[in-house]
Structure 1
Amino acid sequence: MHIPLRTPTHPADSTEFAMAFTSTPRGARLARLFVAHCLNAWGHPYDGHVNETLTLITAELCANAVRHGRVPGRDFHVRLAAEADGGRLRLEVSDTRVERRPVVAVLAEPDAESGRGLLLVTALADDWGVTDRRGGPGKTVWATLSTHRTSAE
């Protein structure tokens, strides 16, 4: 997927954020921080439900991109977009590894070292899925979240 990499002068000036990050734990951490900052600038405070939820989803998807989607010398890409009315947010994390597509295990094995992150994404996001990466090899894992959802839901 070709993601136009543009960063607005100020995150509040746009309803879209897209950036490439190094396929390292540091890159994943920076992506999470940038998404949290952007959400805050869009009116979703750091300690609010929307910011906390989407930041956690971002952390899981970026960690997966670094751990399972890493191709040496290739970055992963993050795109965050708000619908025109601001009612729904869409997060996309793209990497260049084609053969490793995520699936949600019905039950994670108790002794498994991994496999629980997507269960968390499933529980937190309104919807999520995997598509082919536009404009190149790889995949995009996306998640959506309603901004009108309350923490009681």
Structure 2
Amino acid sequence: MQLRATSIEGDGRVKAWRKHARDGTLPPVLLLYFALVQKWLVVDGHDRLHAALLEGREPPLLGLWSVFEKPVPEDEGTRNRRTGSLLAAEVRLRSKPGDVETVNQRLLRAHERVHRLAVTRAFPLRGGAATWKAEVTAWQKWSGVTVQPDDWEAFVSGPR
């Protein structure tokens, strides 16, 4: 998903980036993963992306993804879960000796010292739902994305 309109094909910046795309010296397009919509947002490099696609090249991409770590407490409950995972692994391997990879993955998860969590944030929009609807409607007209009228109305009107 782009955060701004792409420059036209004849724009000087696009022409310059097209040359870099042909030469293989195009800097990466900066993306940010937005988990709520499960899409990558183009943060920087809209024209580089456009230029690479015009040249039929795959653009280099650099994705950012916020990750937070929470230490796993070393308490009796954690020790019991880890002991239980070892016993479960033994039982699983006796019944299905070929499941070594699956058992290893489960043991690694059970013995992690930190839990990692990917989080995206949202902030209130000034003007609330009316401003959001106006922005989404403007984007839909600008982008040329076509949707069924019923689907579009359900999307912009929200839950009922």
Structure in which a larger fraction of residues adopt helix: 2
Structure scoring higher RCO (CA < 8 A, sep ≥ 6) equals 1
TM-score, normalized by length of structure 2? Answer: 0.20
